[in-house]
């Protein structure tokens, strides 16, 4: 049997586009003598469709599109495509998350997802009823175990402070193995997280090794809003060796002779891709797809002479093209001369259009207008924030007038502790670095400069500063970023308590202060733009903390 993996970039709700994309690959595969071609989870409607699944017409169009593919495809090939399916029972959720098997011009079989994740960004039980029937697909002399994404993730490691080590009470593959399948098919929509690369790979290699049969996993590529899908589809041999992995972050396609994959064996472990390269490539894809799928092409940001805006600009230039960026330099009386010169050099290196708008006069006018209201109180954070909000207003004015979408440049460290100004530097249509800790922003800068000095070295080397008061440094308000980021990672990603972190040797007062800042600034994070997700615990839909609570 000849099997093809079609790793494609779908658009949520664009049934015509998705259908055409798949039919093109089906025709190609058919011409090459492929017996079975695989597309990813919910590929017909795009993943994640979220509450669009609650609209009757959306489901009807999904079903019609699958039926159209079946009617238009050649007779010599089988197709597995993901899509929602109506639950015709009176009890339970209205839908199943299903894999449709198409052959001979019609839907020949449907296989329902059993394990519905409700952790992190996933909320599948909101929409879907879990499949409770386990059956295999018999096709061209082969017995095939058809699974949908999480159905192979029942053994995934669980990192929490509880004793529970398994998420699920059911193991779909144990049930399917009763029918002695020849190989496993897994159609997936598995979002990218740089810290889950090894876990994701091991899920499929260990399943193949455990059951002694090959695994063919197809993932989607592309980004939908904040979620980035890295592709990386796999063909794994019977002993758990990786026969081939498809490209990361782009459409890819591969054909396999089943016998070649079954008999393949390798003693060497496949190498993991460098995590900074993955972050870099994933963020570029996230920016590009957010703009293209939203119908936008041009972006702006405030280029401050700092590391965050520099890295954001470099990534945006790669994603959108230099000609589609127009940035503003907005120095105040507190801005250093090198902040302006570094920014000009950065824009020049990339060939980016920029304008300089000095905000000191505007800032002074604000102070004069507010002086009676402020009751002659000494200057403090209120005046600092006015500067940031002036800049936000100017950037949004450019966005409104010229149609350049504002990119937010705040990093995860700042967002975590509230080191940012609402309606000022926290404004934007998309947050590029909101899931990247400050220490990794520097790593990204060095990676961007791996061949040429696109980011001036002075921007990388100088101490970070908001430059909202004389001689201000981030270290005046925050612990060193090496310390801060380590504490944040333990509190946010690993969800350790302050006592647990202190026991690891961190200064008690520093830990308590950092955690207090994280907890006290939840309200700010509720008002941030969508954050491109590159970790397993990004701010946004994957981390839900009440605003009004005492804990």
Strands 137-139 and 106-112: unpaired
Give the integer Cα–Cα distance in Å for 548 and 184: 47
Contact (CB, 8 A) for 535 and 493: yes
- If you search the block for the tokens 């259908």, which residue do you land on? 19
Give the integer Cα–Cα distance in Å for 291 and 396: 17
Q: Is the peptide bond before 128 cis (omega within 30 degrees of 0)?
A: no
Sign of the C-alpha dihedral computed for residues 136, 123, 535 and 293 taken in this order: positive
Contact (CB, 8 A) for 9 and 40: no
φ and ψ at residue 279, rounded to 5 degrees: -55, -50
Give the integer Cα–Cα distance in Å for 440 and 412: 10
| From 45, 85, 149, 412, active-site residue | 149
318 is catalytic: no
Contact (CB, 8 A) for 287 and 432: yes
45 is catalytic: no
| SS3 category, 427 | coil
Q: Where are the alpha helices (DSSP H) in 360-405?
A: 360-374, 381-402
200 is catalytic: no
Q: Please work out, in degrees rounded to the nearest 5, the angle formed at the alpha carbon of residue 441 by the alpha carbons of 436 and 444.
A: 110
Please state the length of the chain: 551
Which structure tokens are listed for 381? 């954070």
Contact (CB, 8 A) for 156 and 207: no
State how far the alpha carbon of 11 is from the alpha carbons of 8, 37, 41, 251, in Å.
10, 20, 13, 13
Q: What is the CA radius of gyration of the chain?
A: 26
Give the integer Cα–Cα distance in Å for 12 and 224: 7
Give the integer Cα–Cα distance in Å for 493 and 434: 14
List CB contacts of 9: < 8 A, sequence separation 6 or more: 220, 221, 222, 229, 250, 251, 289
| From 2, 25, 113, 318, active-site residue | 113
Give the integer Cα–Cα distance in Å for 218 and 234: 7
Quick one: which of 469, 492, 483, 497 has its CA closest to 438?
483
List CB contacts of 460: < 8 A, sequence separation 6 or more: 307, 442, 445, 446, 449
Q: Count Cβ atoms below 10 Å from residue 422 Cβ, excluding itself.
A: 17
Contact (CB, 8 A) for 390 and 489: no
**DSSP secondary structure code for residue 47 in this structure:** S
Three-class secondary structure assignment of 219-246: CCEEEECCEEEEECCEEECCCCCEEEEC
State how far the alpha carbon of 160 is from the alpha carbons of 117, 167, 282, 291, 497, in Å.
16, 11, 27, 36, 11
Residues classed as catalytic: 41, 113, 149
């Amino acid at each position: 049997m000849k099997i093809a993996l079609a790793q494609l970039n779908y658009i949520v709700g664009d049934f015509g586009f998705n259908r055409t994309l798949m039919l093109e690959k089906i025709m190609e595969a058919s011409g090459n003598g492929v017996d079975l071609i695989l597309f990813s989870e919910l590929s017909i409607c795009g993943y994640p469709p979220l509450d669009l699944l609650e609209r009757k017409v959306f489901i009807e169009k999904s079903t019609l599109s699958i039926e159209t593919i079946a009617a238009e495809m050649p007779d010599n090939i089988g197709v597995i495509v993901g899509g929602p399916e109506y639950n015709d029972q009176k009890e339970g959720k209205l839908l199943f998350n299903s894999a449709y098997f198409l052959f001979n011009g019609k839907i020949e079989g449907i296989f329902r997802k059993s394990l519905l994740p409700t952790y992190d960004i996933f909320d599948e039980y909101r929409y879907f009823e879990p499949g409770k029937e386990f059956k295999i697909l018999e096709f061209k002399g082969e017995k095939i175990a058809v699974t949908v994404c999480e159905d192979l993730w029942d053994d995934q490691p669980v990192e929490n402070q509880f004793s529970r080590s398994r998420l699920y009470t059911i193991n779909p593959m144990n049930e399917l193995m009763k029918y002695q399948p020849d190989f496993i098919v897994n159609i997936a929509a598995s979002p990218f997280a740089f810290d889950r690369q090894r876990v994701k790979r091991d899920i499929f290699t260990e399943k193949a090794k455990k059951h002694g049969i090959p695994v063919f996993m197809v993932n989607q590529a592309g980004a939908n809003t904040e979620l980035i899908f890295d592709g990386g589809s796999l063909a794994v041999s019977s002993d758990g060796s990786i026969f081939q992995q498809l490209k990361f972050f782009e459409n890819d396609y591969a054909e396999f002779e089943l016998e070649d994959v079954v008999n393949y064996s390798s003693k060497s472990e496949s190498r993991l891709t460098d995590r900074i390269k993955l972050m870099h490539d994933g963020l570029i894809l996230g920016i590009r797809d957010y703009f293209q799928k939203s119908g936008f092409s041009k972006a702006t940001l405030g280029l401050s002479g700092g590391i965050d805006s520099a890295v954001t600009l470099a990534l945006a230039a790669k994603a959108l093209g230099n000609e589609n960026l127009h940035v503003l330099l907005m120095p105040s009386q507190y801005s250093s001369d090198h902040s302006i010169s570094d920014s000009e050099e950065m824009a020049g290196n990339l060939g980016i259009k920029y304008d300089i708008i000095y905000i000191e006069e505007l800032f002074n006018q604000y102070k004069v207008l507010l002086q009676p209201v402020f009751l002659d109180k000494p200057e403090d954070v209120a005046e600092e924030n006015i500067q940031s909000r002036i800049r936000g207003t100017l950037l949004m004015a450019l966005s409104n007038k010229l149609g350049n979408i504002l990119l937010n440049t705040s990093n995860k460290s700042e967002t975590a502790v509230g080191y940012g100004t609402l309606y000022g530097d926290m404004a934007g249509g998309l947050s590029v670095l909101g899931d990247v800790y400050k220490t990794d922003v520097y790593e990204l800068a060095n990676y961007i400069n791996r061949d040429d000095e696109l980011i001036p070295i002075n921007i990388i080397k100088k101490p970070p500063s908001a430059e909202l008061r004389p001689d201000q440094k981030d270290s005046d308000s925050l612990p060193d970023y090496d310390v801060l980021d380590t504490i944040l990672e333990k509190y946010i990603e690993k969800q350790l308590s302050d006592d647990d972190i202190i026991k690891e040797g961190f200064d008690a007062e520093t830990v308590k202060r950092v955690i207090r800042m994280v907890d006290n600034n939840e309200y700010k994070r509720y008002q941030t733009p969508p954050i491109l997700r590159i970790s397993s615990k990004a701010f946004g839909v994957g981390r839900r903390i009440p605003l009004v609570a005492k804990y």
